[in-house]
Structure 1
Amino acid sequence: MEQRDFGTTGLRVSALGLGAGQIGDAALTEEHVGTLLNRAVDRGVTLIDTARGYGLSEERIGRHLSYRRHDFILSSKGGYGADGADDWTPQAIRLGIEQALTRLRCDWIDIFHLHSCPADTLRREDLLG
Structure 2
Amino acid sequence: MTLPSRVLGRTGAEVSILGYGAMELRGPEYMSGPTLSDEDAGRLLNELLDLGVNLVDTSIDYGHSEELIGRHLGSRRDEYFLASKCGCALSLPPGVLPMPDTHDFSAANVRAGVEQSLTRLRTDRLDLVQVHLSPSRGEMAAAETIETLQSLRDEGKVRFIGMSGTLPHLPEHIEMDVFDEFQIPYSALQPDHDALITRAARAEAGVIIRGGTARGTASAERNFTVEPLSSSGPSAQDRWETARFDELLDGMSRHEFVLRFTISHPDVASTIVGTGNLEHLRDNIAIAARGPLPTDLYAEARSRLGLAPL
Kindly tell me: are residues 99 and 34 of structure 1, through their superposed partners in 2, closer, same or farther at Cα, counting changes over 3 Å? same
Question: Unaligned stretches of 5+ in structure 2?
Answer: 29-34, 92-102, 148-310
Q: Which residue of 1 aligns with 2:120?
A: 103
Q: Which residue of 1 aligns with 2:94?
A: none
Deviation at 1:114?
Answer: 1.0
Distance in 1 (CA, whole Å) between partners of 2:138 and 2:43 is: 38
TM-score by length of 1: 0.91
Distance in 2 (CA, whole Å) between partners of 1:90 and 1:7 is: 27
**1:92 is aligned to 2:94:** no
Report SS of the residue matched to 1:21: helix
Distance in 2 (CA, whole Å) between partners of 1:64 and 1:51 is: 16
Listed one character per residue, the Cα deviations across residues 3-45 of structure 1 (whole Å, up to 9, x for unaligned) are: 1101111111000000000012152101110011000000010
Report SS of the residue matched to 2:89: coil
Report SS of the residue matched to 1:53: coil
Is the 8 Å Cα contact of residues 4 and 16 (structure 2) preserved in structure 1? yes
Q: Give 1:41's match in structure 2, choosing from 37, 44, 49.
A: 49
Map residues 20-39 of structure 1 onto 2, 5 A cutoff.
20-26=22-28, 27-39=35-47
Map residues 56-75 of structure 1 onto 2, 5 A cutoff.
56-75=64-83
Deviation at 1:91?
Answer: 1.2
Q: Which residue of 2 aligns with 1:3?
A: 5
Is the 8 Å Cα contact of residues 122 and 128 (structure 1) preserved in structure 2? no
Distance in 1 (CA, whole Å) between partners of 2:140 and 2:54 is: 30
Q: Give 1:80's match in structure 2, choosing from 72, 84, 88.
A: 88
Is the 8 Å Cα contact of residues 8 and 15 (structure 2) preserved in structure 1? yes
Question: Unaligned stretches of 5+ in structure 1?
Answer: none
Listed one character per residue, the Cα deviations across residues 43-75 of structure 1 (whole Å, up to 9, x for unaligned) are: 010000000010100000000000000000000
| Largest Rg, 1 or 2 | 2
Identity %: 41
Distance in 2 (CA, whole Å) between partners of 1:122 and 1:104 is: 28
Deviation at 1:80?
Answer: 2.5
Q: Give 1:128's match in structure 2, choosing from 103, 125, 146.
A: 146
Kindly tell me: are residues 23 and 119 of structure 1, through their superposed partners in 2, closer, same or farther at Cα, counting changes over 3 Å? same
Is the 8 Å Cα contact of residues 61 and 88 (structure 2) preserved in structure 1? no
Deviation at 1:123?
Answer: 4.8
Is the 8 Å Cα contact of residues 88 and 121 (structure 1) preserved in structure 2? no
Residue identity matched to 2:15: V
Q: Which residue of 2 aligns with 1:118?
A: 135
TM-score by length of 2: 0.39
Report SS of the residue matched to 2:85: strand
Distance in 2 (CA, whole Å) between partners of 1:22 and 1:34 is: 13
